[in-house]
Amino acid sequence: MVNPKGKTSTITNSYNERCESALEQALLSVPFYKSWKQYDKGSAFSFAERMAALPILTKKDIRANVPNGFIADKYKCKEGFASGEIEIESTSGTSEERVSVVWYQNWWNCSEREAARLNPVLNHIFKSPHREAILTSPVCSGNLCHVGESSMNERTIGSLLFLNQTPDPTAWDDSSVRRMAKEIESFQPDILEADPAYLAIFSRSNLAAGHELYKPKCIVLTYEFPSRVHYRQIHRAFPGIPVVSSYGSTENGHVFMQCEAGTFHQNTATCYVDIQPLRKEFGNTGVGRILVSSLGNPWFVLLRYDIGDLVFSRDGVKCPCGCSEGLTIDGIEGRVRDITFDTKGHVVTLKRLDDALEPAVALLNYQVIQTGTQHYSLSYEAESETQRSTADILPDILHGLYGSDATIEISRDSALVPEQSGKFRLACRTWPLRTEELF
């Protein structure tokens, strides 16, 4: 089967049938999509061609039509909320990106379990009851938000322990860091699930203080883009512990999981994904935005939803892990909103920027802001004893990435802080992006 990008992916008949059924049921019985029937090419065409002909679902669409617009006709919204089977949950992000979704816990649990099958370490852990400690911004924990002082028992929901109570991790003092370290040791989680930026700060704070850290069986990075600077700090604090990147969203569940070979595999059990490539004039057409359709969630049916993220995929490259169903991608490239451009107008994704900064091994955090077609500023944190060497190599790195004619300002900062959403932004522009012109 060929997806709209032209890349071949291995699709089993059962998966193909589930995808076609989900599309047809949505067009017939989900209020928002009934008007989309006019775009459907029909059964004479492949499923991928039918999907590619449909409009793209946006966050604006969701905000205007939640909850009733995305619930299948035979499922009654009032009864679902009254019974507690579903609830409304808000996503994190900036105000223009935040949406409210219909949260169906049973479907989310299924999505998480099926994604875990794609990584052997996680698959083994999920075969039996296990504990997870969560380290992220309190506002990224949905309705399980714990800002301020609350006891460990109040932050323990079944097999989950939510560690952080502070919206800004740069404000953690030694007592907060020590408290979380002790709670991890007491709880003894099998999995430490974390925002990579938060875990990086936690890791270096404990290393600096000489605190011993409990070693979980696996660390799962999620919530935001995992930078090389995060990985370096995490590996120092948790040597020998498998670190896995999981990609998903509150709206779509678990979409891609990193396998033992380092590539990402689509969770075909609960989603369908197609990729819209960048236009050739903007650079590497191996990069594209992902459009995600949910499978098996009647309470919140999404078709071709633009999450706002980019991936990179090489055509025809098989993963050595042996998994072949659905799409296999090389990596997550970051958010569309974090795109910058070189001086020739080519797209620079967050991952491309992050890869370019690899030689600056003393970096602890950074943020690039593009202020004009040829103007850039870089603020960074670095280990103090290597400040001079870091400052020396950064101009050459950025000129090599953005162009020799780029004007670049570089400054060292004592602490870069997250946005109001709780997420750190590693790159941005000072002007809005016309997304539809890129793809």
Q: pLDDT band at residue 94, thresholds of 50, 70 and 90?
A: low
66-77 pLDDT, tens per residue?
999 999 999 999
Alpha helices in 131-173 (DSSP H): none
Confidence of residue 149 (pLDDT cuts 50, 70, 90): confident
Confidence (pLDDT) at 7: 37
pLDDT digits (tens, 9 = 90+) for 338-374: 999 999 999 999 999 999 999 999 999 999 999 999 9
Fold topology of 1-336: Rossmann fold (3.40.50)
Per-residue model confidence as pLDDT tens digits over 400-431: 999 999 999 999 998 899 998 888 999 999 99
**What does the longest C-alpha to C-alpha distance in the chain come to?**
66
What is the third-level CATH fold of 340-437? GMP Synthetase; Chain A, domain 3 (3.30.300)
pTM across the whole model: 0.93
Residue 96 pLDDT > 80: no
* Section 175-185 average pLDDT: 96
Q: Is the per-residue pLDDT at 117 higher than 60? A: yes
What are the C-alpha distances in Å from 113 to residues 218, 253, 381?
A: 15, 11, 37
Q: What is the pLDDT of residue 285?
A: 74
CA-nearest of 271, 269, 270, 267 to 258 is: 267
Residue 83: exposure state from Cβ atoms within 10 A (0-12, 13-18, ≥19): exposed
Percent of the chain at pLDDT > 90 equals 82
DSSP-assigned letter for residue 203: H
Question: Distances from the Cα of 386 to the Cαs of 335, 412, 414, in angstroms?
Answer: 30, 12, 14
> Strands 160-162 and 132-135: what pairing?
parallel
| pLDDT band at residue 325 using 50, 70 and 90 as cut-offs | confident
Domain boundaries, the chain: 1-336, 340-437
% of the chain residues with pLDDT over 70: 93
What pLDDT score does 9 carry?
A: 42
Give me the phi and psi of 187, to 5 degrees please. -75, -30
CA distances to 62, 81, 86, 234, 422 from 237, in Å = 40, 43, 39, 5, 23
Please write the tens of the pLDDT for every residue from 11-58: 456 898 999 999 999 999 999 999 999 999 999 999 999 999 999 999
DSSP 266-288: E-TTTEEEEEEEPPGGGS-TTEE
Rg, the chain, Cα only = 22
Contact present, 187 and 161 (Cβ < 8 Å): yes
Cis peptide before 129, with omega less than 30 degrees from 0? Answer: no
The CA dihedral of 204, 393, 387, 338, to the nearest 10 degrees, is: -50
To the nearest 10 degrees (0 to 180), the angle between helices 228-237 and 196-209 is: 40
The set of residues, in sequence order, having a beta carbon less than 8 Å from that of 399 and lying 6+ positions away, is 406, 408
